[in-house]
Amino acid sequence: MARMDVRTARPETILASMETVLGPLHLLTGELLASQELHDRMRHLATLGAEALAEAPLQETIAAVAEQVDRLVRKRQPELGAPVSLLEAARRLGISKSRTLAPAIKRDAVRTVLVGGKRKIPLDELRRLAVEGLVGPRRRAVTRPKGTPREPRDLDAEVAQVRALQYPGDA
């Protein structure tokens, strides 16, 4: 037998299912049950409505949260076009100030400006670095000219050199 959802069933459906279980009900009993069910539903809806009116409307809450987010964003980011400090630039780029940004500034890979005696990075330079990245100088491997064969190593001679080493205290 299929289960019935009492919350969404109509009073007549509830009455019909009760009659199948309990047998025929008196007409007055069925009407009383149906009216009681209707009364309970109306009371429940009234309670829900009162709770909804007591809470702040959703749109007002969303607007308040959006304003707080805007305020935090404005507080966190400097004004448009204002140069940022080296620490802030390193933070925004996700790099180390001392190990990556400072050496790049020293080799003139990053443009800086002096503002009040302090070195800052303009926002357009920061955008360029974010797009292009900050690539340091690559160390080139020592290569042989093409076509020259690699000289074979004399391992016996190398082992003899290591064995001939004199350490202080081995005399």
Whether 170 maps to a domain, the answer reads: no
| pLDDT band with cut points at 50, 70 and 90 for residue 171 | low
| pLDDT at 22 (0 to 100) | 74
Is residue 88 located within the same domain as residue 127?
yes
Q: Determine, yes or no, domain membership for 171.
A: no
Examine residue 69 and state whether it is found in any structural domain, yes or no: no
Work out the average pLDDT over 109-130.
Answer: 90
85 beta partners: 120
Domains identified in the chain, total number: 2
Percentage, residues of the chain above pLDDT 70: 77
In a domain, 143, yes or no: no
Cβ atoms 34, 10 nearer than 8 A:
no
- pTM over 0.85? The answer is no
Give the pLDDT confidence of 43-56 residue by residue, as tens digits: 887 787 776 666 66
- Closest by alpha carbon to 134, among 164, 90, 171, 88? 90
Determine contact, residues 93/130, Cβ cutoff 8 Å.
Answer: yes
Residue 163 in any domain: the answer is no
pLDDT digits (tens, 9 = 90+) for 122-135: 988 898 888 888 77
Alpha-carbon distance of 109 to 134, in angstroms, equals: 8
Range of the domain at 87: 78-132
Beta-carbon contacts of 92 under 8 Å, excluding residues fewer than 6 positions away, are 84, 126, 130
Q: Band of the pLDDT at 137, cuts 50, 70, 90?
A: low
